Chain A
Amino acid sequence: AQTVTQSQPEMSVQEAETVTLSCTYDTSENNYYLFWYKQPPSRQMILVIRQEAYKQQNATENRFSVNFQKAAKSFSLKISDSQLGDTAMYFCAFMTNNNNDMRFGAGTRLTVKP
């Protein structure tokens, strides 16, 4: 079974600073996909970034980038130039290549302070 672990229940960062959220996972699969989703107070799940395991290059989306370490099964999210609107729950998620169901970590509550 695949498991996703987020070891930081809560984090805070000053506006304009950089913060890194941790995620590790466990799987015996070789092909899979990793995601970071953001859930603001509205509770709408918003895709932040997606990484395909067979790609060595780390995914980047504007201020969001990942550090994907396949051997270590680590998938951290870096948020640069943090903005107040980044305040939300962040979930790391895993999806195998066999089906499309997604497994989520417990989440990290990020607060960006002015």
Chain B
Amino acid sequence: GAVVSQHPSRVICKSGTSVKIECRSLDFQATTMFWYRQFPKQSLMLMATSNEGSKATYEQGVEKDKFLINHASLTLSTLTVTSAHPEDSSFYICSAGPGTGRRFGDTQYFGPGTRLTVL
């Protein structure tokens, strides 16, 4: 199956700093990438949908100025948590799909996640 990577896998930062998380589709080109947030022992909550070359679509309640998403190419999307605070500490997961030329409803492939801890 297709592979999606995330970097870094873990990051610890001080309150007030910004953190960038990268999501890459390694062996396919994805028209769309998604960013999820997962709190301990909870489900995945969709934060935003990222389409290559256009602005991301944010879910209700997600601050677009706090969680900046850039999807510069068909294989890379980045999530920047700006002015991070302890309440932003969470597990962030990206997914990619469908591949270019594929239809909606095709399988999404998930990255391994990034654990963010804000001190």
Contacts and interface: CB of A to CB of B under 8 A. Distances in A.
Interface string A100-114: 111111110000000
A91 B32 contact: no
A102 B34 contact: yes
A102 B95 contact: yes
A50 B46 CA distance: 19
Contacts of A30: none
A106 B42 contact: yes
Interface string A29-43: 000110101000011
Given A52-B105, A99-B104, A45 B110 contact: yes
Interface in B1-42: 1, 32, 34, 38, 42
B116 to A, nearest CB: 13
B106 interface: yes
B60 to A, nearest CB: 10
Given A101-B46, A103-B46, A107-B43, A44 B110 contact: yes
B10 to A, nearest CB: 11
A95 interface: yes
Contacts of B43: 91, 104-107
Interface residues of A, number: 26
Nearest to B106: A100
A18 interface: no
Contacts of A50: 107
A99 B32 CA distance: 10
A102 B46 contact: yes
Nearest to A91: B43
Given A42-B112, A44-B112, A45-B110, A98 B91 contact: no
A44 B38 CA distance: 12
Contact of A43 (B95, B98, B109, B112): B112
Nearest to A44: B112
